[in-house]
Structure 1
Amino acid sequence: MIGWFRERYLDLLGSIYIYNEHRGYTALDRVLEAVKVRSPDDVALIGAIERHRADERKHYMMFRRWFELRGTMPLMVDRTCGHIDRFVEIMFRRGIDALDTQAVVAREDLFERLCRVIALTERRGHKQVEVLLKHPLVRHDRALMTIFRVIERDEPSHWAPYEGWLARHGKREPRWWERAIDTFIHGELLLLKLPVLFIAPVRRRTQWADAGELVSA
């Protein structure tokens, strides 16, 4: 029973992470394209976003390899388990797929909002990884520990370009209510969605999320 509980927890954890990593780099593709149109001469920002995107893709591939070594596919979780999905839905009143990224980046007030959302999401991710590295069920899996150590090392460079843009342009830091939304989304996942997924029958994906994408590994 203990073994089943541990494997189910790790299965769900890996499935939620691989979803979020894939969502992260594919959403950044759109942000990057829009930033290149808005600020083609801001090579520092463009380069930082490109590195962020590359890290998200790298993390996705690490989780994919983890599942491959386990001989199974991720569970089919969706946008309800995506931190950035929920944050964008609340802050922009529409999902990522329906968001006009070009229009958001073109407007300074909306790009400012997006920068805060991304920075808060990345900081939340770093805090969660610090917790998971101490979690007894995670510590049981050496490969997963290696993945989370890499993420822990990479994360600080992920919020830096967005917070840097805000600072350079004299924009405000996140207010209490934006931090509260971030906390709510995290709590919603941990206290509501994860327990439901734990006991509910969840199908597995039949193909990898990046199937057919023209991206390098």
Structure 2
Amino acid sequence: MFAWFRRRYLDLLGSIYIYNEHRGYTAIDRVLEAVKARAPDDHALIAAIEKHRADERKHYVMFRRWFELRGVMPFAVDRTIGHIDRFVEIMFRTTIDGLDTKAVIASDALFERLCRVISLTEQRGYRQVEVLLDHPLVRGDKTLMKIFKVIERDEPSHWAPYEGWLRAHGKRAPRWWERAVDSFIHSELLFLKLPILFLTPRLRRRTDWADAHDPRPVPSMTLAVGH
């Protein structure tokens, strides 16, 4: 019984993370489009966001490799468990895919709001990884521990460019209600959506990888096995 519980929990955890990492780097492509249009000469900011994109892609590949080594596909979760999805939907009243990139490019207020959303999302991710690194079920999987340690190391550089842009342009820091929205989204996932998924008896698994139609192939990488 415990083995089933542990396997189910880790499968769901990995499925949620691989979805969010894929959503992360594909959404950052839209951010890069906006930044390059707004500030084509701000090479430092563009480079920092490109690194963020590369890290999210790397994390996705690590989780994909983790599933491949275990011989299973991730569960077919969707945008309802995506932190950045929910944040954008609440703050912009549209999905990420429906976000008007041209409007964000043209408006300081919209770009400022987007920077705060991304910064808060990345900081939330960092705090959650710290919790997971001390979680007994995660600590029993050496490969997952290695993945989360990589994410813990990478994460602080991910919110830095957005906070830096806000400071450099005299924009305000997130207010209490924006932080409250972030906390609500996290609590909603942790205490409502995750238990529902856990107890769904015939939760469908993906039949293909989320990056199957990405323009870039999955890079080869070595990740030690340990469960």
After TM superposition, the score normalised by the length of structure 1 is: 0.99
Q: Give 1:34-183 correspondences, 5 Å limit.
A: 34-183=34-183
- 1:147-190 Cα distance to aligned partner (Å, 9 max, x none): 00000000000000000000000000000000000000000000
Deviates more, 1:119-128 or 1:39-48: 39-48
Q: Tell me whether 97-106 or 71-80 shows the greater mean CA deviation.
A: 97-106
Instruction: State the match for 2:215 in structure 1.
Output: 214
Structure 1 counterpart of 2:195: 195
- 5+ long unaligned stretches in structure 1: none
Report the secondary structure of 1:173's partner residue. coil
Distance (whole Å) between structure 1 residues aligned to residue 8 and residue 174 of structure 2: 36
Specify the SS of the correspondent of 1:55: helix
- The alignment-based identity, stated in percent, is 76
Shift of 1:105: 2.9
SS at match of 1:96: coil
Cα offsets for 1:76-109 (capped at 9, x unmatched): 0000000000000000000101111232132100
Contact 1:31 1:105 survives alignment (8 Å): no
Q: What one-letter code is carried by the residue in structure 2 that aligns with 1:180?
A: A
- Taking the aligned partners of 1:120 and 1:31, their CA distance within structure 2 comes to 15
Equivalent-residue separation in structure 1 for 2:124 and 2:196 (angstroms): 22
Partner Cα separation in structure 2 for residue 202 and residue 178 of structure 1: 33
Deviation at 1:212, TM superposition (A): 2.3
C-alpha displacement at 1:214, in angstroms?
1.4
User: Counterpart of 2:208 in structure 1: which amino acid?
Assistant: Q
Q: Which runs of 5+ in 2 are unaligned?
A: 220-227
Q: TM-score, normalised by structure 2?
A: 0.94
What is the identity, as a one-letter code, of the residue corresponding to 1:202? L
Contact 1:166 1:172 in 2 (8 A): yes
Distance 2:126 2:213 in 1: 30
Q: What is the CA–CA distance in structure 2 between the aligned matches of 1:161 and 1:2, rounded to whole Å?
A: 43
**Is the 2:37–2:105 contact (alpha carbons within 8 Å) kept by the matching residues of 1?**
no
2:225 matched residue in structure 1: none
Asked if the contact 2:20–2:82 (Cα under 8 Å) also holds between the matched residues in 1, the reply is yes
- Letter in structure 2 aligned against 1:134: D
After TM superposition, the runs of 4+ consecutive aligned structure 1 residues lying more than 2 A away are none
How many corresponding residue pairs?
217
Letter in 2 for 1:98: G
1:57-82 Cα deviation digits (max 9, x unpaired): 00000000000000010000000000
| CA deviation after TM superposition for structure 1 residue 198, in Å | 0.1
2: CA distance between counterparts of 1:139 and 1:105?
A: 43
Note the aligned Cα RMSD (angstroms): 0.7
